[in-house]
Amino acid sequence: MVGFAWIVQYILARMTRVAVALLQKDGKVLLCQRKKGSRYGLKWEFPGGKLEPDESALDCLKRELREELSIEIQRVERVETHHAYYEDGGVFEVEYCFVSQFTGEPTNNTFEEIRWVNWDELRSLDILEGNKQFLSKLTR
């Protein structure tokens, strides 16, 4: 059992905590494409980012969306937590925040591209691997 506890501690120590927003408008969701040359370059993802030490998911999301898209979150309906594991060793705890109200018009400050997509179009995009399981649950 000591070996198992060590493995759990190792994974938790390497885990990156992330908060992302599901922004919806007119039946579409906002997706962002990572910059070419970045880790997981040109993959599509939800906007958000890594939590800083002692930062809540909501505070992180407010900070990240202000920086990345120049918008302010007004209301989050619910949060779902999922884990994502990547072949390159990336281990992530992702807080998916369903944002029901925000102010401002999203402006691309960081990404290769941002795009409002419907749920059918979302399935045709090259989505970040860690989001695929969560998305398959949503689009069923």
Residue with tokens 């992330």: 18
CATH no. of 18-138: 3.90.79.10
Q: How far apart are CA 7 and CA 130, in angstroms?
A: 21
96 pLDDT higher than 50: yes
Q: What is the DSSP letter of 103?
A: E
Region 29-53 average pLDDT: 94
- Write down the pLDDT at residue 83: 87
The shares of helix, strand and coil residues in the chain, as percent rounded to the nearest 5, are: 30, 40, 30
- Write down the pLDDT at residue 12: 52
Helices (DSSP H) in the chain: which residue ranges? 2-14, 57-69, 119-124, 129-138
**What tokens appear for 59 in the block?**
């505070």
Region 101-115 average pLDDT: 97
Residue 116's SS3 state is: strand
65 pLDDT higher than 80: yes
Region 76-99 average pLDDT: 87
CA angle 46, 48, 49 (to 5 degrees): 125
Domain assignments of the chain as residue spans, ordered by start: 18-138
**Residue 16 contacts residue 57 (beta carbons within 8 Å):** no
